[in-house]
Amino acid sequence: MAEKRIKCPVCKKETNWENNPYRPFCSEKCKLADLHKWLNEEYSIQENSAIATNQEEKN
């Protein structure tokens, strides 16, 4: 059976899924880069009310 390959969400490099301690990232560097973005509020999650408002605007 072929190994499952995925693209790292940070650098887009293809990496193995199986036996990868950093998955879904390719390396510790990418894992820490992603954490850094979360801690610096470069990423965010919409509130449910914001999602509902966006859906209402589309209708």
CA distance 14 to 7: 4
Fill in the amino acid letter for 28. Answer: E
* Domain span holding position 36: 5-58
> Roughly how many angstroms between the first and final C-alpha of the chain, as a whole number?
46
CA distance 57 to 17: 39
The answer to whether 6 and 17 have CB atoms below 8 angstroms apart is: yes
Tell me how many domains the chain contains: 1
What CATH number does residue 43 fall under? 3.30.50.10
pLDDT by residue (tens digit) across 1-59? Answer: 678 999 999 999 999 999 999 999 999 999 999 999 999 999 888 877 655 665 666 66
Paired tokens of 49: 């009310």
